[in-house]
Amino acid sequence: MNKWYKEDLAFIHDDGFRDFALKSAPGILEILAENKIHDGLVVDLGCGSGLWAQELTKADYHVLGVDISEDMLNIARTRVPNAEFRIDSLFKTNIPPCNAVTSIGECLNYLFDPNSDRQTLVQLFHRVYNALTPGGVFIFDILEKGQVAQGTTIKGFTQGKDWVVLVEKEEDQEQITLTRRITSFRKVGEHYRRSDEVHHVRLYEATAIANELSGVGFQVETTHSYGQFLLSKGHVAFIARKPVGVAVKMSSKALHWAKI
């Protein structure tokens, strides 16, 4: 599981790229309130270092965070000791009955799970739908096609205190994937330590995803912002509501959460 977002990149992501989670949080909390979800369990798929989980617990929600990176979860457990965190693939993990499911920061695009494909994504939609209480919401965002012009490479870097990260991005329009080659340098003691990771993400069309969600039974709304926080070009957020009056199945294994 610890193949991606290893120790140094997990630290850098938490330290230098936290704005997305923190600036999204107020708008997502507003969405929960608008749907009369003021408490109970929220399952956060791709929870990372727990920044969004921390905001949820501050607002008196219970949190189950799931992530594939052990090093990300080490940070999350320290940051939010009163939340529960689980190392697992977000496409395979058991989702207990809950009032909301979130997946913030294009997590559903990632191809960390070798079995991840369009069918697996739709299966996840079904599992989320079955886990949500009537009136519950599924809030997530995705990247669409067109992030990088065909045949070109985008290069950039970001630096912080005692670290720098370099990223190259290329898009394969035939495979409909985006590849990020990431090289990071982090100062440990007197020297800088290098680490390299390659991340592949599948790109989607918002209209197709909305149709899949509707087919599952969700009432779907798309947006290009979380409240006042505008998403970047080609970045679309979804608010998928499970209609009130739809029964939810509760397994005996999930009774722990039902008692919270």
pLDDT, averaged in runs of 10, over the chain (260 residues): 87 97 98 98 98 98 98 98 97 97 97 83 97 98 95 96 97 94 97 97 96 98 98 96 69 40
Are 40 and 137 spatial neighbours (Cβ–Cβ below 8 Å)? no
Residue 106 to residue 12: CA distance in whole angstroms: 18
Give the pLDDT score at 168: 98
| Burial of residue 191, with CB atoms counted within 10 A of its CB: 0-12 exposed, 13-18 middle, 19 or more buried | exposed
Q: Which 8-state DSSP code applies to residue 9? A: H
List the one residue out of 102, 99, 85 whose CA is nearest residue 141: 102
Residue with tokens 């000791």: 81
- Which CATH fold topology does 7-145+205-245+253-258 show? Rossmann fold (3.40.50)
**Contacts by 241-244, CB closer than 8 A, 24 or more apart:** 241/35, 241/135, 241/136, 241/137, 241/138, 242/129, 242/132, 242/133, 242/134, 242/135, 242/136, 242/137, 242/138, 242/217, 242/218, 243/134, 243/135, 243/217, 243/219, 244/134, 244/135
93-108 pLDDT, tens digit per residue, is 999 999 999 999 999 9
Annotated domain spans of the chain: 7-145+205-245+253-258, 154-201
pTM of the entire predicted model:
0.92
- Which CATH fold topology does 154-201 show? N-terminal domain of TfIIb (2.20.25)
